[in-house]
Structure 1
Amino acid sequence: MNGQLSKNIRAIVTVVLCLLAVSGIALFATVNLSPLFIHLPARGQFKLGEGVIRADYCRLLVYLQQPWPTRLSLANIPLSSHAVDHFRDVRHLLLIGEAVGLVSMVLGVWLLAKQKRQGQLLSVLLPLKWLFYMIVMTVWIPLINFSRDFVCFHQLLFNNQDWIFVPSRDPIILVMPEEFFWHLFIIFVVIAITLLLLLWGWLASQLGLFKLRTDKTDDGRNQGHHDNS
């Protein structure tokens, strides 16, 4: 009884670590794909060229993912002290999220390898399936009212009002409208679900489930052939 409970707990811990690892990888990929989705305001709103805007945005990305202390400074887009403080908070959250994802990936791979050696991968498959179903059933909820959830998300993560940008004071917000973050959320979800499906497929292949289904299909065809004969 204790052995079965220990095996189930280990399987749940493995799945949680895999979820954290997948989230960290999806976060890193989404942040670095974000230049593809920035909004380029009209000349009347932003008197800077496309190349200049993209260059400053890339400087922002480098700052957000640097683990060593530094101060944010863009070459052409002005930033208020409130914006600098907010991006510093975002940087801390990103670095923590990516670090947790990296550590979880190492631990998750180690646990999966250990359970493979012990023949216990099947115990991981069931909680992974339930996790996947829960994600698929709930991930669409923020899309119903993204504006409200976007505000609630900031109120939950930040204990100040620095995240409220005024375009006249911090024109960089024109590059990152709400639609920009909506696209990033979709990209994050797609990457995360894809990685979970790949993990699911790897577990199924290691357990021989694909071969088992193929054998059953072949047996059914052979039985049908014999019956016809």
Structure 2
Amino acid sequence: MTKCGEIIKNMLLGLAGTVVMICLAVSLTVWFRPLYYFDIDYLDIPQSSGVSAELCRLNYDALIDYNVPGGSTKLMFPTMPMSESGRKHFEEVKDIFLAMQWVAVLGLAVFGIYLLRDAVRTGKMREAAAFHAAHTLRLRYRWMLWAVWLAAGIGGIVLLAVIIDWENAFTLMHKIFFDNDDWLFNPQTDPIITILPDTFFMHCGLLIIGLTILFCAGLQLLYHRKTRNTHGKSHF
């Protein structure tokens, strides 16, 4: 493959790696119910909503069960009514979350197979010519750095937006992902919103950013390990 072709391949793999890392971070946050359980007490949701902690957990669990593969096919809150616009919004949210979860799972599988296959090739290369192998490996695994730079950049921009103006960032996110106003809930017809305060979603956003940065650090370390030459040095 030409050098230009290798660069393009690395950029595309880096973009794919970024998407997988972000989707994995979102998926883990969706699955991590203890965050909401913690916020029930930390944000004093029962006090602000008038709903007991037990019922908060019960209705939240129903929402999460609806948003995971193999979960509920129809959303029904145990103790709360729901409007048609609210149902439509949650259906759209489910489509997004399920897509991200499948991208995360399948992406990890594909990259795992890719790295395993490359590990076999790398061993043969090292045996053939150590110096040439190290140079080739740095170019071959450059996509990892592309993924790290892109994901960390996105995470940094989002974090800055959250810190500067969370409310506008939250609104902008909904305008990007949804082409309607169904996400603007009326507490009278969709009381579920009373137990899902904005601050909880901010905590979710911070967890997603934190996980993304953690994945970037892990991928950076993997890059150095993969490109370490016979003298134990790694290169950018």
Q: Under a length normalisation based on structure 2, what TM-score does the superposition of the two structures give? A: 0.78
Shift in CA distance, 105/95, structure 1 to aligned 2, threshold 3 Å? same
Shift in CA distance, 210/96, structure 1 to aligned 2, threshold 3 Å? farther
Cα pair 1:41 1:175 within 8 Å, conserved: yes
Task: Tell me how far 1:139 sits from its aligned partner.
Answer: 3.6
Q: Which position in structure 1 is the counterpart of 2:104?
A: 101
Q: Distance in 2 between matches of 1:44 and 1:195?
A: 35
Q: Which position in structure 2 is the counterpart of 1:201?
A: 221
Q: Which position in structure 1 is the counterpart of 2:125?
A: none
Moved more, 31-40 or 180-189: 31-40
Q: Distance in 1 between matches of 2:158 and 2:118?
A: 29
Shift in CA distance, 44/31, structure 1 to aligned 2, threshold 3 Å? closer
Amino acid at match of 1:75: P
Return the index of the structure with the highest Cα Rg. 1
Identity percentage of aligned residues: 20
Match of 1:123 among 127, 130, 139: 139
Task: Tell me how far 1:82 sits from its aligned partner.
Answer: 1.6
Task: Tell me how far 1:10 sits from its aligned partner.
Answer: 2.2
Cα pair 1:14 1:124 within 8 Å, conserved: no
Q: Which position in structure 2 is the counterpart of 1:79?
A: 82
Moved more, 60-69 or 191-200: 60-69
Cα pair 1:112 1:121 within 8 Å, conserved: no
Amino acid at match of 2:175: Q
Q: Which position in structure 1 is the counterpart of 2:45?
A: 41
Q: Distance in 1 between matches of 2:147 and 2:224?
A: 16
Cα pair 2:18 2:148 within 8 Å, conserved: no
Shift in CA distance, 113/196, structure 1 to aligned 2, threshold 3 Å? same
Cα pair 1:17 1:108 within 8 Å, conserved: no
Q: Which position in structure 2 is the counterpart of 1:132?
A: 148
Q: 5+ unaligned residues in a row in structure 2: which ranges?
A: 123-135
Q: Distance in 1 between matches of 2:196 and 2:89?
A: 14
Cα pair 2:14 2:146 within 8 Å, conserved: no
Secondary structure of the equivalent of 2:182? coil
Deviations 1:92-118 (A, max 9, x none): 010111112223222323333444444
Amino acid at match of 1:174: T
Q: Distance in 2 between matches of 1:35 and 1:205?
A: 34
CA RMSD in angstroms comes to 2.6
Q: Under a length normalisation based on structure 1, what TM-score does the superposition of the two structures give? A: 0.80
Q: Does 1:65 align with 2:68?
A: yes
Deviations 1:133-161 (A, max 9, x none): 45245243322112112111111211221
Q: Distance in 1 between matches of 2:195 and 2:180?
A: 22
Q: Distance in 2 between matches of 1:210 and 1:203?
A: 15
Task: Tell me how far 1:67 sits from its aligned partner.
Answer: 4.9
Shift in CA distance, 209/156, structure 1 to aligned 2, threshold 3 Å? same
Match of 1:189 among 209, 213, 222: 209
Q: Which position in structure 1 is the counterpart of 2:186?
A: 166
Q: Which position in structure 1 is the counterpart of 2:129?
A: none
Amino acid at match of 1:56: N
Amino acid at match of 1:32: W
Q: Distance in 2 between matches of 1:206 and 1:128?
A: 10
Q: Which position in structure 2 is the counterpart of 1:142?
A: 161
Q: How many correspondences in the alignment?
A: 212
